[in-house]
Amino acid sequence: MSIETNRTVQDSSLTVHRSLDVETVHGLRPVRNQLPGEPVPYAMASGEGARYELDGQLWTVFARAADTGGLFDAAWINGPRHARTPHHVHHHHQRSFTVVKGSAQVWLGTSSRVLVPGDSFNVPAGTAVAWRFLAHGTRLLTWTAPGGGLAWVERLGTPVDVHTHRDRPAADASPRERADIGAQLGVSFPAGEEVLAAEQWDDRLPEGAEPYFLRAGEGDRLRTPDALYTYLSRGRNTDHRYFAIHTVGAPSQYFGRHFHRQHTENFVCLSGRVWLWVNGVEVLLTAGDFVHAPAGTIHTFAFDAHQTELLGILTPDVFEPFFSVLGSPTSDRSYPEPGTVSGESTDLVGPSFEALQKLQDELDLVIVGPPPERGAGLDL
C-alpha cells in the first residue's frame, strides 16, 4: 500500500488538495531555480525566487505553501541601513528568523535586542514584532508555518526583477492598504512601543511556544566526530510545526541513502560547500542556496569544505530525536576535527547498527542503500 503526501496547488481564489504517493517522489529529479508550485524536490540558488520590495527591503521568497504542500514559507530579507519593518502581528502563523549578515535591532513582544550574524529570534502566533537594520547590506533568513505566512509580502510588496536591495526602492503600501490586506490574511499592524535594546545574553531555549531571542553559539548542542549540531528551535517552541538545527563541521562523506514518509527536510547552506544527493542527482550548495526534500525524496548529503554551516528546517518535528542518537550533548561551541575532541584523541564514533535500526523502527527514517559515490565536483 502506498503512503501519500499532500500536493497543494494554490491561486488567489482557490486551494486544491491532491495527493502524491511517496514512491512516485522517489523518481522525481529536482526542479532547478524555479518555484515548482507543487511539493516536489527542488533546488534554489541564492537570490532566486519571487522577489518583492517592501519597507525598503528586498524579500526573496524561495518557498511558499504551494511549493511545500502547505507546510511552510521561507524568504531572504535584504536591506540597507535604516530600513525598517513596523510592528505587525501574525495571528495564525509561527515564525522564526536568523541574522545572516549585518546587524538589526528587533522588537519582540515587550523586549528588544541588537542582533548580529548567527543570532536568531522566534515569533509565535499573536506576538508583535518589528525590526530596523543597523548596518548596510543586512540580511535575515525567515521561515513561517503553516504555509501562507508570507502572503502578506506578496500582496503588499512590489514585484521586482532585481536580485539585490536598492537604495531607492519603490513606494510602500499605505497604512490603509496594510490594514485591508492584513485583515484578509490574519495580520494586524498595531502601534508598538520601541523600547530600548537590552544587553541580556540569551542562551537558552524556553520550555514552550513563546517569543525568545537566541544568541549565536547558544542553544541545545550535540557533537559527533566531525560536526556540532545546535537546535535553534525545538518542536515545543513552535507548536510542533517544525524544528530548526544548525550544523557546522568538517569535510565528510555521504552517509546512507534514505527517505522520510511523514516529514519534509529542508537544507539552507550558510557557508562553505554542501553536496546534496537528491533522487540520484548531485546538487552543490554554497552560501544562500536551498534544497527542499519533501516526503519520499531519497537523499543524503556531505560537507565539502572546512567550517561549512548548514541550517536544517524539518517539518513537522517528528525527526527531532534523531540527533540525540546521532550525537552526544556537549558544552562546546566549536566542532571537533575528525578523530579529536578539544584537541585530544577520542573514541567518539557514529551511531551503531543497532542505533540505526532503532531509528528506523521508532522514527520516520527508511534507509534504502549504502552511501552513493561522489561523482561531481571532484576537482573542487
> 3-class SS at 190?
coil
Q: How far apart are CA 262 and CA 296, in angstroms?
A: 9
Q: Is this prediction's pTM over 0.95?
A: no
| DSSP assignments along 152-178, one per residue | HHHHHSEE---SS--SSPPPPPPHHHH
pLDDT on residue 8: 38
Domains and CATH numbers, the chain: 49-212 (2.60.120.10), 220-369 (2.60.120.10)
pLDDT tens for each residue of 263-290: 999 999 999 999 999 999 999 999 999 9
Q: Which amino acid is at 57?
A: Q
CA 68, chain centre distance (Å): 13
pLDDT of 297 > 70? The answer is: yes
pLDDT on residue 232: 97
* Alpha carbon distance, N-terminus to C-terminus of the chain: 43
Ramachandran angles phi, psi of 141, nearest 5°: -115, 130
The bridge status of strand 187-188 relative to strand 128-133 is unpaired
> 3-class SS at 179?
helix
Q: How far apart are CA 206 and CA 214, in angstroms?
A: 10
Q: How far apart are CA 133 and CA 138, in angstroms?
A: 6
pLDDT tens for each residue of 94-112: 999 999 999 999 999 999 9
Instruction: Say which residue the cell 578523530 belongs to.
Output: 339
The single-letter DSSP state of residue 89 is E
Q: Which amino acid is at 310?
A: L
> 3-class SS at 362?
helix
pLDDT on residue 18: 46
pLDDT on residue 378: 80
Q: In 10 A of CB 7, how many CB atoms?
A: 21
pLDDT above 70: percentage of residues in the chain = 90
pLDDT tens for each residue of 225-240: 889 999 999 999 999 9
Beta-bridge partner residues of 338 = none
